[in-house]
Each structure stands twice: as structure tokens, then as C-alpha cells.
Amino acid sequence: MKPKTKVALDAALPESFSARINSSEPNEDGSELLTGARRVFTRILLVDDHPVVRKGLIACLSGRPNLAVIAEAADGLEALQKVGELSPDLVLMDVEMPQMNGLAATESISKKFPRTKVLVLSMHNNPEYVVQAIHMGARGFALKTAPAEDLIKAIEIVQRGEPFFPGHSGAPGQPLKKDPAAAPDGLFEREKEVLVHLAAGYSNKDIGELLKISVRTVESHRARLMKKLNIHTIAGLTRYALAQGYISLNPDFSIPAMAGGGPLRFPSPQTLRV
């Protein structure tokens, strides 16, 4: 069975790319991404209901030696079928599509095929889409209007296992760059830090490790947040954080990723405050 699977996967790759991954040419930095005799690469399923958009994205990614678009889908149902057949490493997922939209497809993929990462790609810098994408299991959210290099960076960050979402400025463990006193909503710096990390999808344990505080302390801050704001769900806290500007679609903002990872960023050609 294994030889047949290997043949099927190789057949799914573009001919030009198959030639590249069997070569031993170094990357631009002089390194070689090799595992045994084969080059390490990211196998991508491209999902968008517009053929012109798919062709443009393929053109954008085709020159990258470590990326390969192995298949395309025009809606969420087709995407689910092809993920099951091909087990891609990453799905570039449009939001608004017929049959099944991208957010519903993202939720199904994250539950049925957890090894396949989903990077939502949208024309709209709608914060509600970001919130929904987070809670549907997406590993990242990027704009179609962003420069090609930003999309490549988003793919690389997500494939490394790091999230790629709106965030705030600051280094790991450092407070938000806002007034040290309580904000008009009554939140203090540590509470705002916990709010931002919760909105980004981190667990209590992860937040404790990042901020160097105990899980019990994180739980206390979380409980006070919900009581002060009268919001009792993570989705509600995420919407509140976006609305108040604690997280943003500003490309200059970042939030630290989990221990051992790089910064969590969101590329956008413009700042959106809601």
C-alpha cells in the first residue's frame, strides 16, 4: 500500500516541481532542505471559487522551491474531499464560496484532518472573519490584497506551527504599550495582556508560560476580565479586543507566539481600527 500512496502523491505534483525536489540545489541562503534524498517542501491545496484568483496565486507561489500547489478546489465541499484524498500540509482557504463557505470548511478540516493546517485568505479585512477563523480552527488569516512576500511569510510561519493573526506590539513577557493606569473599561495592564492572548487563541497554560505567571493567576485574571466586561465566552472577548483596539489588523503589531516560537503577526497594507 505504501508504494501506491507514494506514486499517487508524486503524480499530484506539477512536473516542473517534481524535478526540483529531486535536485540537490541549495536554497538562496546556501542551505539545503533535504530529508534523506528528497527536498522538504510544503504541499498546498488552493481553495477559491474564482479561477483567475487561483491562477494568480499559483503564479505567486510557483517560483518558491519549497512550496507546491498540488491541487485546487472551487468550494468547501470539494476542499474537504481533496484534503481527504491528498493530505496536503496546508490549505489556502477563501471565505466566501458556494456549496460550503471557507469558515465552515475550515472547521471541518481542523476536526477531521488536524495535521493539515488552514490559512484563511480573504479580500476583506473584516475583524469578524478573523474572530470566526480563530474559533473554526484556522492557523492564520491573511489578505489577498497583501504583497506577495507577506503571503509567503504567512505560509512559512503557519507551516512552522506558529499562528499568524492580528496581535499587539511588544516582546515576549513585556506589557502592552498602553497607559500604565487602568483603561476606561477598568482593565489593568496584566488583564489586557491576558485578554489579548486569550483572543489570539492561547490556553491558560500557554499564557502562563509566556507571561511567567502561574496558571492559577491566569485563571484569576480571566475570571476578573469576564466579570468586569460582563462577557463570558472567548469569542465575545475576542470581539471586544478587536473593537477596543487591543488587537488590530495593523501589520506593525505583533504578539509573542507560544514558548519556542516566533512572533504572531498579521500582514495588511493598511491599519484597521474598529
Domain boundaries, the chain: 2-159, 189-246
Quickly state the pLDDT bin for 151 (edges 50, 70, 90): very high
The predicted pLDDT at position 1 comes to: 46
How far apart are the C-alpha atoms of 256 and 234, rounded to whole Å?
Answer: 19
Across all residues in the chain, what is the average pLDDT?
74
Specify the pTM.
Answer: 0.54
The predicted pLDDT at position 71 comes to: 97
Domain 2-159 sits in which CATH superfamily? Response regulator (3.40.50.2300)
The predicted pLDDT at position 136 comes to: 85
* Residue that wins the pLDDT comparison between 201 and 39: 201
- Three-state SS string over the chain comes to CHHHHHHHHHHCCCHHHHHHHCCCCCCCCCCCCEECCEECCEEEEEECCCHHHHHHHHHHHHCCCCEEEEEEECCHHHHHHHHHHHCCCEEEECCCCCCCCHHHHHHHHHHHCCCCEEEEEECCCCHHHHHHHHHHCCCEEEECCCCHHHHHHHHHHHHCCCCECCECCCCCCCCCCCCCCCCCCCCCHHHHHHHHHHHCCCCHHHHHHHHCCCHHHHHHHHHHHHHHHCCCCHHHHHHHHHHCCCCECCCCCEEECCCCCCEEECCCCCCCCC
Whether residue 251 has pLDDT greater than 80? no
* Residue that wins the pLDDT comparison between 226 and 132: 226
Query: Average pLDDT in the 70-80 region?
Result: 96
Could you give the angle at which helices 234-243 and 215-229 cross, rounded to 10 degrees?
70
Amino acid at 101: N
Q: Which residue, among 165, 183, 172, 184, has the nearest Cα to 267 in the 3D structure?
A: 165
Burial (CB < 10 A; 0-12, 13-18, 19+), residue 241, is buried
Whether residue 39 has pLDDT greater than 80? no
Q: Which residue, among 183, 188, 189, 154, has the nearest Cα to 262 in the 3D structure?
A: 154
Query: Average pLDDT in the 17-32 region?
Result: 39
CA atoms within 13 A on the CB side of 205: 0
Quickly state the pLDDT bin for 16 (edges 50, 70, 90): very low
The predicted pLDDT at position 166 comes to: 55
- The region of weakest confidence among 107-121, 151-165, 237-251 is 237-251
Quickly state the pLDDT bin for 188 (edges 50, 70, 90): confident
Q: Which residue, among 125, 121, 154, has the nearest Cα to 53 in the 3D structure?
A: 121
Query: Average pLDDT in the 63-67 region?
Result: 90
The predicted pLDDT at position 32 comes to: 38
Indicate the class that CATH gives domain 189-246.
mainly alpha
Contacts of 216 (CB under 8 A, 6+ apart): none
